[in-house]
Amino acid sequence: MADSNGVEGGMIYEAIWRNTNLLLVRGVGYGGGWEKRNNTENDLDIEQYLVELGISSSNIAKLKKGHPTLFQASLEQKVKPMVQFLQKFLGYNPTGPISNQHRKQISRIITNHPMLVHLDVETNLKPKCYFIKSFCGMDDHDIATIFSSSPGLLGLSLESNLRPTLQFLYDTLKPNAEQRNITKAITNKNEEENPIALLRKCVLKHPQILGLSLSNIRNKIEYFNEIDSIGSKDPVATKHKRKEGTLATRILLGAPSVYSLSLCNIAEKIEYLAAIWNCDVPYTVRSHLNDTHIMQDLLGNHDGTASLSDNIRTYPQILTLSMEGNIKVRNFMLVLLFEI
């Protein structure tokens, strides 16, 4: 079969290049042999089951086109067990009737992450959930919260992704917990924090952090550490603020979604804020801001007393705001207000 350029077999090559799962397909739309009857019946059974789950005909058509292997899976051994697993871990009764709200949630997961159907419940999905639950000191409700917001995490490898990432986050947060407990002991506060509690807080706030590569997280931590290394004109105040730990851990606990942003996105915001706060940055600041001096006066930091790290620690969530649609707009509005 030729493609649009007349190359014989080009359409087949192009289809496989776009979706390598086609190489795994066995009989979807196949029109010959005894397998036609068996495969067609299986297709219809799964399609009917997906309809019962509330998946629309248009989404079923998209699944057939983009993930045909879903319709080759065993309904009784793969699809139904996975749905029952999702029901249980999302806090529903796996044997009881599914409410419309729960049906919509499960159908959305299958539509967006159909490859989960091919994972074995007992040897793959359950071990991942139990590991995260025990490692992070979570309960069933916590697990349901994580996977309802980020079901794609179930498709990650336990040994290659989840375990090393959680271990790295734990090791990163451990010194922070120890420093916090020392501070509380000095101030006669009885409650103690442990790295597991901090890890739980981080993952619950932003489960998607588990989907980032270790090199991705490390690069951002190194960048934040570099910002930490830049001192301020008030070392006493800086020392007091940094008893809470590093800037990297402050962001992990206060605004972990920052780690899902690109490093270029983060650096652009930090350089812009550094110019406003009159702070040093790890590398050259973009100095094209005409209203910088006005913002410095408004913020009462025109002399750069506080370091860049100290300022970001105060409200790390500022790094999650969009540059053009939020940070610069607020900057502009304050400038207008000052001029009025």
Residue type, 56: S
Please report, in tens digits, the pLDDT of each residue of the chain (340 residues total): 545 555 555 666 665 555 555 554 444 433 333 344 355 556 678 999 999 888 999 999 999 999 998 988 899 999 999 988 888 877 776 666 777 777 888 888 999 999 998 899 999 999 999 999 999 999 988 998 898 889 999 999 999 999 999 999 999 999 877 665 544 443 344 444 789 999 999 999 999 999 999 999 999 999 999 999 886 555 554 454 555 689 999 999 999 999 999 999 999 899 888 888 888 777 533 434 444 443 444 344 445 567 889 889 988 999 998 887 777 666 554 444 444 4
Q: Which residues contact 143 (CB under 8 A, 6 or more apart)?
A: 89, 129, 132, 133
The closest alpha carbon to 85, from 74, 93, 75, 73, belongs to 93
CA distance 59 to 63: 6
**Cα 199–chain centre separation:** 15
